[in-house]
Amino acid sequence: MKLLALPAFSDNYLWLLHDKGRAVVVDPGQAQPVLDALQREQLQLDAILITHHHADHVGGVQTLRELTGARVYGPASEPMPEPLTRLRGGETLSALGLDFEVIDVPGHTAGHVAYFCRAPAELEPLLFCGDTLFSGGCGRLFEGTPAQMLASLDALAALPGNTQVCCAHEYTLSNLKFARAVEPDNADLQRYSARCESLRAAGLPTLPSRMSLELQINPFLRTRQAAVIAAAQRVDPSAQDPAGHLAALRQWKNQF
């Protein structure tokens, strides 16, 4: 089992998982990078998994379906390139002989889902979380509330610590700059920032990340930590609970 991050647009990754000549792709906003990879690696595309309706996640779906005949799976309640199998949280799909568990993660969009694969051969557990969780950050709240995003991030944070977090965008460095403003004294964050800066300087992705690491450095997963609460209350003294602290951080980040 192999996992590839195919770069697309200016900062998207299209995640491609493959084994024994068959492949699954997540959120193909563009068809061409996927077609190139299928050709290069000599793969047949079995399935397309979609996390949410934004164009940079679905733009390549119709072309890929027509050219490969791949099955398409997506969220139950979002506008989607039809036909597809719609899934909601708690349901499972199989591809490449693996189970992918669907997790409802509303917040960035109202019907956003994530896909969790517990035991891919030779790999650690995989989470495809679209634009819900980024390394060091989270998605903007376009359609959901802070309380929904908090519950979604809590659900992801409960996954095994060794889960490989496959985010849909390379936003890590700018997220970490913000995270350092929130928690200037977080030593894990300083170390991780240095590591990511050298990866980017070498032209390499910072992703996938790891859930245990995100719990140490991502302020949006740390809204119950004293230092993060204090920082959130500095920008919004009326913030009273974890959802309020998350809202204050998100608002601050939007203007950062």
Residues 104-163 that bind Zn ion (CB under 5 A): 131
Q: In terms of Cα–Cα distance, which of 188, 199, 144, 137 is closest to 165?
A: 137
Residue 139-178 contact track with Fe ion, rule CB under 5 A, x = bound: ----------------------------------------
- Least separation in angstroms between residue 201's CB and Fe ion is 24
Task: Return phi, psi of residue 25, to 5°.
Answer: -125, 145
Residue 86 binding result from Fe ion, Zn ion, none, given CB thresholds of 5 to 8 Å by partner type: none
State the catalytic residue, choosing from 19, 56, 112, 245: 56
Residues 43-72 that bind Fe ion (CB under 5 A): 56
- Least separation in angstroms between residue 158's CB and Zn ion is 23
Query: How far are the Cα atoms of 21, 47, 63, 191, 218 from residue 68, in angstroms, in the given order?
Result: 13, 9, 8, 43, 38
- Least separation in angstroms between residue 223's CB and Zn ion is 21
Catalytic residue status for 185: no
Contacts 24+ apart (CB under 8 A), 79-84: 79/53, 80/50, 80/53, 84/50
State the catalytic residue, choosing from 18, 52, 112, 245: 52
Residue 46 binding result from Fe ion, Zn ion, none, given CB thresholds of 5 to 8 Å by partner type: none
State the catalytic residue, choosing from 18, 108, 112, 245: 108
Task: Return phi, psi of residue 38, to 5°.
Answer: -60, -40
Query: Which one of 51-59, 66-74, 117-125, 210-218 is the stretch in contact with Zn ion (CB under 5 A)?
Result: 51-59
- Least separation in angstroms between residue 70's CB and Fe ion is 21
- Least separation in angstroms between residue 52's CB and Zn ion is 6
Task: Return phi, psi of residue 139, to 5°.
Answer: -70, 160
Residue 102-131 contact track with Fe ion, rule CB under 5 A, x = bound: -----------------------------x
**Residues in the chain, total:** 256
Q: In terms of Cα–Cα distance, which of 59, 61, 128 is closest to 98?
A: 128
54 scored as a contact of Zn ion (CB under 5 A): yes
For the residues of 23-50, what is the DSSP string, one character each? Answer: EEEE--S-SHHHHHHHHHHT-EEEEEE-
Q: Are strands 22-26 and 44-49 parallel, antiparallel or unpaired?
A: parallel
Query: How far are the Cα atoms of 13, 164, 191, 193 from residue 184, in angstroms, in the given order?
Result: 29, 26, 12, 12
Name the residues that contact Fe ion, by CB under 5 A: 56, 131
State the catalytic residues: 52, 54, 56-57, 108, 131, 169
